[in-house]
Structures are given as C-alpha cells and as structure tokens.
Amino acid sequence: PFAEGAATTTLELTEPQREVYLAAQMDAEASCAYNQCFVLKLRGPFSPESMQRALAVVCERHAALRLHVTASGDRQEILPTVDVALPLVDMEGLADSERDETWLKLIKRETHTPFDLASAPLWRAQIVRDSADLHRLVFTAHHFVCDGWSSAVLFSDLAAAYAADRFGMPPTLEPAASYREFVES
C-alpha cells in the first residue's frame, strides 16, 4: 500500500498539471498568475509556535503541500517532509499609514514572486503582527498544490491542529483523502 510521507514518491503529472506547468514556464508573470494568496485574520491571544506546529501537521497530512515538479517537467515528487518556515513580520509599532503601505508591499511581493516549481514547497507562509491581539496569517501557494476547494480543507485542518496544539492535545482530524488516488483517478 501507498504510505504517504514514508519516502519520496514519484508520480506522472496529470494532463491539467502539465498544462499549468507549461504555462508557468512561459515567464515569471505567467507563473505568478497561478499564485493564490490567502489572508486569515486572527483575533485574540496568538501563539506563532502553535501555528508553526499546526502548519507542520497539515503538511504532513496533505501530500500536495510536499510536492514539486521534477526538473524534466513530466513528473512530480512527493517528499516525506518539507521545512515549515513561518516568519513573523511585526507591524505593531508602525503608524497607520506606514502599516498600510507596508501591508500593500507585502501582498504585492507575495502575489508577484514566482515559485520555482522544481523546489518544494510550492507555498510560503508568514505571520503579520498588527497588535497583541490581531495577527494575520498570509499563505501563498501555487495553484499546482492548492485551489479553492483544497484551501477550504487546508484551513479547516489548520484551525483544528492549531486549536489542539494550544490546548496541548493531538488534533482530531478525519482521515485525509489520498493524493495518489486523486491524481491517478
């Protein structure tokens, strides 16, 4: 049986994945057209450490967040793990106008920075601190690994994993769908 996360797994690209890959190779602007930037406002007490651990749980759970395209462009590899970086951008001390300007630059940079499809992960995340009780999770992913439907699943799992970590408990998540079965169907 297929054990996601046990070792690097190589699969052929699906026809839609090949189309996205080829379009993204045209130039940086074409590649950035596939960037999806999500922003979640988080109000109340917040733990960056818990969020980083929750994001690691989600990456372990969802193979798509650990994949990249091979250099030849015809296959995808699912890695057993990926590094989960979650830098913190602190805007708490900025004046409102400076915070707005910094925020706009940050979002523009996220949406206009292409992903190297040959290097996992094909997503990036950061926390923006506006105040002690207001943070924003900025999660940017290439369409190759995340779309509208899967983002809802990802953020639901992230919320459950974060809440569980904050209470010192393991997350209780329904079994994840198999990525391999999805791409091979």
Residue 184's pLDDT band, with cuts at 50, 70 and 90, is low
Q: For residues 61-72, give the mean pLDDT.
A: 94
pLDDT of 49: 97
Residue 115's pLDDT band, with cuts at 50, 70 and 90, is very high
Q: Is the pLDDT score of 27 beyond 80?
A: yes
CA distance linking residue 89 with residue 169, whole number of Å: 28
Percent of the chain with pLDDT over 90: 84
Residue 173's pLDDT band, with cuts at 50, 70 and 90, is confident
Task: Single out the residue of 167, 184, 110 nearest to residue 142, CA to CA.
Answer: 110
Q: Which residue has the tokens 């090949």?
A: 18
- Does the model's pTM come out above 0.85? yes
Q: Is the pLDDT score of 182 beyond 80?
A: no
pLDDT of 148: 79
Q: Is the pLDDT score of 2 beyond 50?
A: no
What the block records as the tokens of 158 is 């992230």
Q: Residue 114 corresponds to which amino acid?
A: P
